[in-house]
Amino acid sequence: MKKLLAGLMVVIILIMTTSCKNEKAMNGFYKEIQRVSGYGGALPDNYEYTDYASLARAFDTVVFDFDTKDAYLPLIWKDHTFNSIGIPAYVGDGRMGKDGEQEAVTVIAAVLSATLSGVDKSDQNGVDYVQMLNAFSSEREGIILNNPSGSSAGTSMWYLLYPAILYTHTAMLYDNPGSMKHNLLKNIESWYDAYEIMCKKGDADFNYTGFNFDTREPYRNGIWTEPDCAVGIAVLMYYGYEITGEEKYLTAAINLMDYIDSFFGSPLYEILMYYAPVLMARLNALYGTSYSLDKALSRVFDGNSIPRGGWGSIKGKWGDYGMNGLFGSTTDGGGYAFSMNTFAATGAIAPMVRYDPRYARDIGKWILHLSSNGRYFFANRTPSEHQAQIPEMPSGRITEAVPFEGIRKQRDGKVPWFGGDPTVYGWAETNFSLYSGAHIGILGALTEETDVEGILKIDLLRTEMATAPAYPTFLIYNPYSGSREITYRVTGEKPVDLFDTVTNTVIKKGVTNETTLDIPPDGAVVVVEIPQGTEVERKGLNNYADGVYVSSNRSTVSFIRPGNRDVVRGKIKVEIALHGNFDDTVDHAVLIVEDQTIHLENNKAVIDAGSFGEGSKKVTVRVSTTNGLYDEASIRLTFE
């Protein structure tokens, strides 16, 4: 277990000021997500705002309609065997109406999505759909299953863990979840037992295909493994700790993230790895761990997966369509974006900015591109000649609210091709994906347009599974080369002070209703609405207002010279800089070139290019700071 920060935390009242920090210094504070920095432009081509919350409500309306009889309708049935409901994976799915075969990744996600979109699913037209989710809880195995009639035997890790996360998240959104709380705690304890078993098999190992809760043994099927199951288990452990306060769950969560942090290469298999950045950021902020968020984000975005080669985030254009930000395979047929992965990724990753504002710019840019390009998953937003051809097209009620399963870079001579796997492999009559549409509300809960086109207000609380009190917190990114003034509307009726975690300053005081904010060029603010006049106190590396967590203090190291991809020869002058949202300085710095380590003095060093041989080489600087933080940055140089 990584050492937790220890020692007496001295409370320091922060001196707040609205003066702007040097713009160049703040640009040095931002951390780059390599995949996002390669988009080619901050503002998406053919940008268009899509109201995903409205789409999610439209999805809920058409899917939870038992009465309309039409082509492919209804899309839902009453499961009398398990006292629940069933929604198939696809429109035109042969499993429609088969009790017990419905999947949690569709049904639970649909209830969660609607809830995040403002629909009370505990009392919708007199029906409590929330309690119906208990059909997925196995009393015998003590876990949440993907199918009411299923079992853990032969079910892979993510099909066990992701339904459990969806179930837990949904329960946490309702004040009186009833038996759901008992079931989710039982599920967490069962996974704690599984965690202990996988730890006791010698060195901790989670590189398995599944876990059989009947035999209490993990297994490998000889075809694939899912090492990112450690992230899914860690998510459950962390929320077990939040709900119960039992330290064993926190210890397990940290040990599991230690495993992921030290895993050779990217462990990404499916959605579970998407939760790693936010959990690592939160553990770093609140429990003193020092996980590399750069590494975690690279493993999610860059398409460098070990167990599932090519899985990550798409970038570039396919034909006339921008694909930046969408998630799926970066290599399958040249690229294959999936709507479920895209929608789910936003809700899992975005809240990390609460705990590490250095990523505000690139997370904001990513969600801006994704939210614009995500519209291409819907049939009414693309030409029919580029879509998978089917004998009978569903009605507009379906095609406008239910997305395609995916977008291929090319198929049948079309670039791109909008459709999915069902009609290719005979799984269903259409490629309209109900399991994907059941995730629309996750993106819809995050994004809201402002009065400036291309600038979104991104809610960092709505999709985070957390029980601790928090003030409304929003990320606002400006993709333009000049500053922009937006109208900012506050959440409640009482006056608030607006605190920006990127600069650690109060930027507006005593705001009621609305005010204006200046957003820096290609920059971001992370606004926390603090009760008017509440002092912000520094405790260690975090800031609190009236005991409620507000932000974390962070520093970023960068190269002043040489520049990335420079050609170098002879004596090379190396200089670095440290930029932070609080007072911090370099305590120790080393430069690493191949297997050589060079110590920097006063943030500078001179190295001899001839000592390293010719060719392209990675040069890394690692620093520790006077406040106990660690950071590193890398560039690539060509040595001559």
- Asked if residues 398 and 378 have their Cβ atoms less than 8 Å apart, the reply is no
User: Which CATH number does the domain housing residue 626 bear?
Assistant: 2.60.40.10
Please tell me what DSSP assigns to residue 21. Answer: P
pLDDT for 201: 67
Q: Are residues 624 and 477 in the same domain?
A: no
Report yes or no on 382 lying in a domain: yes
Structure tokens at 427: 């799984």
Does residue 133 fall inside a structural domain?
Answer: yes
Using alpha carbons only, how large is the chain's radius of gyration in Å? 25
Let me know whether 198 and 237 are in one domain: yes
Confidence at 325, pLDDT banded by 50, 70, 90: very high
pLDDT of residue 177: 77
Across the range 234-251, mean pLDDT stands at 97
Answer whether residue 21 is part of any domain.
yes
**Residue 565 and residue 542 share a domain:** no
Give pLDDT, residue 2. 39
pLDDT at 5 > cutoff 60? no
Give the residue numbers spanning the domain of 296: 57-442
On whether both 587 and 549 belong to a single domain, the answer is: no
Segment 305-332 mean pLDDT: 97
What pLDDT score was predicted for residue 418?
98
pLDDT at 301 over 70: yes
pLDDT tens-digit profile of 346-359? 999 999 999 999 99
Are 310 and 181 contained in the same domain?
A: yes
Amino acid 16: pLDDT: 35
Total tally of structural domains belonging to the chain: 3
- Of 538, 553, 568, which residue sits at a domain end? 553
Average pLDDT of 584-611? 95
Q: What CATH number is given to the structural domain containing 95?
A: 1.50.10.20
Give a three-class secondary structure readout of 227-252. Answer: CCHHHHHHHHHHHHHHHHCCHHHHHH
Helices (H), 463-613: none
> Does 546 lie in the same domain as 569?
no
Q: Under a CB-based contact definition with an 8 Å cutoff, are residues 281 and 293 in contact?
A: yes
Tell me what pLDDT residue 24 has. 57
Q: Does residue 113 share a domain with residue 161?
A: yes
When pLDDT is cut at 50, 70 and 90, the band that residue 465 belongs to is confident
Mean pLDDT of 477-501: 98
* End position of a domain, from candidates 442, 459, 492: 442
Query: Are 287 and 303 part of one and the same domain?
Result: yes
Element (H, E) at 210: strand 210-212
Do residues 206 and 272 make contact, with C-beta atoms less than 8 angstroms apart?
no
Q: What is the mean pLDDT of residues 25-34?
A: 88
Instruction: For residue 629, tell me if it sits in a domain.
Output: yes
Provide CB contacts within 8 A for 275, sequence distance 6+.
Answer: 165, 231, 232, 234, 235, 348
User: In this structure, is the dihedral angle defined by the CA atoms of residues 20, 23, 27 and 28, taken in order, positive or negative?
Assistant: negative
pLDDT at 23 over 90: no
Whether 286 maps to a domain, the answer reads: yes
**What CATH number is associated with residue 498?**
2.60.40
- The answer to whether residues 116 and 180 belong to one domain is yes
Domain annotation covers residue 576 = yes
Q: Does residue 1 surpass a pLDDT of 70?
A: no
Q: Are residues 327 and 231 in the same domain?
A: yes
> Does residue 242 lie in a domain region?
yes
Same domain? For 562 and 542 the reply is no
Is the predicted pLDDT of residue 10 greater than 70, yes or no?
Answer: no
Residues 6+ apart with CB under 8 A from 319: 415, 416
Torsion sign (Cα): 150, 182, 282, 109: positive
What residue spans of 201-338 are helical by DSSP H?
229-244, 247-262, 276-287, 293-301
Find the range with the poorest average confidence among 5-19, 239-253, 518-532, 595-609.
Answer: 5-19
Q: Between these two residues, 602 and 1, which has the higher pLDDT value? A: 602
Residue where a domain terminates, one of 486, 519, 553: 553
pLDDT digits (tens, 9 = 90+) for 102-132: 999 999 999 999 999 999 999 999 999 999 9
Q: Exposed (0-12), middle (13-18) or buried (19+): which is 32, by Cβ within 10 Å?
A: middle
Q: Give residue 77's pLDDT.
A: 98
Distances (CA, A) of 136 to 51, 127, 140, 164, 434: 31, 18, 12, 9, 18
- For the chain, give the percent of residues with pLDDT over 90: 93
278 and 417 assigned to the same domain = yes
Strands (DSSP E) contained in 412-521 are 417-419, 447-449, 456-459, 473-478, 484-489, 496-500, 505-511, 514-519
Chain position carrying tokens 């003095």: 601
Is 98's pLDDT higher than 80?
yes
pLDDT digits (tens, 9 = 90+) for 335-392: 999 999 999 999 999 999 999 999 999 999 999 999 999 999 999 999 999 999 999 9
pLDDT at 19 > cutoff 50: no
Whether 42 is in a domain gets the answer no
What would the pLDDT profile of 170-209 be if each residue is shown by its tens digit?
Answer: 999 998 778 999 999 999 999 999 999 999 866 899 999 9
pLDDT averaged over every residue in the chain: 94
3-state secondary structure of 290: coil
pLDDT at 343: 99
